[in-house]
A and B are shown apart, each in its own frame.
Chain A
Amino acid sequence: MSSIRVVVKIPTSIYPELVADLSNVQLRDRAERLRILALLGLRDVQRLPPPSVRESPAPEDMSKPDQRATATKLIQRLKGSL
C-alpha cells in the first residue's frame, strides 16, 4: 500500500485547540490522532452524505427544465449523428 510522509509543525499561537488536544495524547499516538482529526475535518469539508444515502444515489435535479431541455435536445441530435 502506498503512503505519503508529512512532517507537520503545529504552532501553539495559531492552533491552540489542536495543540491542547494532541498534548493529552502519548507521543507515539499523536500521528494517529492527527489522522483521525484530519479525516473528520475532511468529511465536513466535502459534506459527504451518510453512507446509506450514498448507496442510493439521489434522483437527478430536474428543477430547471428549460436548461435540461436544451442539453437533452443537443445530446439527442449528437447521438443521431454518431
Chain B
Amino acid sequence: MNVLGIDIGYSNLKLAFGKAGHNPQVLLRPAGAAPADRLGEKISGKAEDDFLRVMVNGNPFVAGLSPDRAELWSRELHEDYPSTESYRALFHAGLLLSELDQVDVLVTGLPVNQYLNPDLRERLQSQMQGEHQVTPRRRITVQQVKVVPQPVGGFVDHVWNLTDASEFEESRVLVVDPGFFSVDWVLISHGELRRQSCGTSLEASSVILDEAAKLVANDFGGNIGRERLENAIRQNQTEVRLFGERIDFASYLKKAADKVGPIVATRLRESLRKENAGADIVLLVGGGAGFFEPSVKEAFPNLKVSTSDLPVFANARGFWRIGA
C-alpha cells in the first residue's frame, strides 16, 4: 500500500512517502509557487532548474522554489491558503516528488481552527482525492484522503520513536506546533484529542521574522525583509548582507522571539484553563519549535518539555504513520 504524508506549509513543503511496512523517505522543498511566467528571466533561463514545473487547472506553474523568487506574484499568507493555486501547485509537486503513480492513502493536516470546521476539512479532502493531471504527461491518482489537525502528526511521530510510549499513554500531552503562519496546539489526554483545549494563534514564525527584520532596520538603516531571513535560516546561514555589511542576525531573532513567544505561551495557558487538570508533558514539533521553546519552558516551568528529532519533518512523518 502506497502512503503519502504531505505537509504543505507556508514556508516549506514536507513529504514522507513509501509503502506501509517500510520506513518512509522524507523530502523538504521551499514552499514557493507561482505561475511559470512570473519567474525572472535569469532564473528561468538557467541550464538546470532546482524547482518543479507542474500544471494547475491547465496552467503551467513552478513550485518548490524560495517564496521570494517569483516576480509580481504575492505570497499567499492567509487562512484560505488551501484553496489557492499556489497550494495546489505545491500539492502537485508533492505528488510528483513521491514518485508514485497511485497513492492509496494520503494524509495531510490543517491548522487546528480550520480542522475543527467540518466544511473546510471536507473541502480539502475532496480537493485532494481523485485523479490529478500534475504535468502535461503525468497523472497521479489519490484513492483515499485523511485530514487531521496538524500537531497530531508530530505527536504520532514522537510516540512511534519512543523507547517506551507508556508515559505518553497515561499522560495529558500538550502538543505545540509552531509553523510559519500559525502556532497550533492540541491537548491529547490518554490518547484522545480534547477539542475544547485545542487552538491556533497567528503570532507565529513569520511574526518573529518581521520583528527581527524591524530590529535590524533600527540598527542598520535598511529592511532586509522577512523572506531573506527565512532563506538564510533554511540554508543554515547565520549572516545576511545589508548595505555591504555582514549582519549576524541570531541576536535579533532571539530578541524577536522573546517578544512574540510569551504571547503564544499566554494563549496556551488560557486554553488549558478549560480543562479540570493541566498538562503533564509539553511536546514541541514543527519548523519553528526552536523560536518558541524558551517561552514555552518559561510558561510551564514544572513540566517536561520534549522536542522532536528534526521537528520540521515531524508532522509529515506522523501523517505517513497514521496512513500506514
Contact = CB atoms under 8 A, between A and B. Distances in A.
Secondary structure dominating the interface of B: mixed
A1 B148 CA distance: 35
B50 A81 contact: no
A60 interface: yes
Interface stretch (A19-27, A34-42, A72-80): A72-80
A64 B164 CA distance: 10
B169 A67 contact: no
Interface residues of B, number: 34
A70 B165 contact: yes
B22 A59 contact: yes
Contact of B165 (A71, A80, A82): A71
B287 interface: no
B152 A57 contact: no
Interface residues of A, number: 23
B25 A57 contact: yes
Contacts of B46: 1
B321 A2 contact: no
Given A57-B18, A59-B21, A70 B156 contact: no
A8 interface: no
B41 interface: no
Contacts of B160: 68, 71, 75
B193 A82 contact: yes
B23 A81 contact: no
Contacts of B188: 78
A51 B197 CA distance: 45
A58 interface: yes
B24 interface: yes
A7 interface: no
A78 B156 contact: yes
B167 to A, nearest CB: 10
A4 interface: yes
Contacts of B21: 59-60
A2 B235 contact: yes
A82 B166 CA distance: 21
B149 interface: yes
Given A57-B25, A59-B21, A71 B159 contact: yes
B65 to A, nearest CB: 11
10 contacts: A1-B48, A2-B235, A57-B24, A59-B22, A60-B21, A64-B163, A73-B191, A74-B159, A77-B191, A82-B152
